[in-house]
Amino acid sequence: MSSQQADQQTLNEPQTQAQPEPQAQPEPEPQAQTQAEPETEPSARRLYQRAVEDIEGLPILGRIALAIFVIILLWKMTPLLDLLWIFIQLFVIPCTLLIALGVMSHGSYMLVIGWLNESLKWTRAKAQELQG
């Protein structure tokens, strides 16, 4: 019984273990930088040149596939092209159908949609004027 009593006394007594105290470590001093760090970010021009080199390194089928991918990406991700396509479906195609059936005259069509053609002519003229 004495061994059981000794075991119970050791269980009842709070056990304290000596824990090592954390030692304060000196913080490293920041080193004075006398030299400018080299530029780790490549410049935009260098990135462009690298992209051109990569594209020129592609075989012809790779270039075609990349071009098709870019066209599809622009078509699907650019809302301006979607709006233009909706305009063509809602106005241009029905108006040309009405002209073909003789219901609408060409003059009426030019009043409704002719401003597109005129704005393209004006843009071309300005571009040629600026070029020379």
Residue 5 lies in a domain: no
Torsion of CA 73, 77, 79, 80, to 10 degrees: -30
Same domain, 55 and 85: no
Determine the pLDDT at residue 80: 81
Determine the pLDDT at residue 42: 72
Q: Domain boundary residue among 77, 102, 120? A: 77
Determine the pLDDT at residue 69: 93
Per the structure, the complete domain to which residue 50 belongs is given by: 44-77
Q: Could you read off the pLDDT tens digit of each residue along the chain, which spans 132 residues?
A: 555 555 555 555 555 555 556 566 666 555 555 555 555 667 888 999 998 898 888 899 999 999 999 988 887 887 887 888 898 899 888 888 888 888 888 888 778 777 878 888 999 999 999 887
Distance CA 76, CA 52 (A): 24
Determine the pLDDT at residue 12: 58
Same domain, 114 and 71: no
Buried b (16+ CB within 10 A) or exposed e, 21-38: eeeeeeeeeeeeeeeeee
Residue 18 lies in a domain: no
Residue 22 lies in a domain: no
Contacts of 25 (CB under 8 A, 6+ apart): none
Q: Pick the closest to residue 115 from 87, 94, 89 (CA basis).
A: 87
- Helix (H) / strand (E) containing 122: helix 106-131
Distance CA 70, CA 64 (A): 10
Instruction: Please name the residue that has the structure tokens 């004027």.
Output: 129
Same domain, 73 and 114: no
Q: Domain boundary residue among 30, 62, 77? A: 77
Same domain, 84 and 132: yes
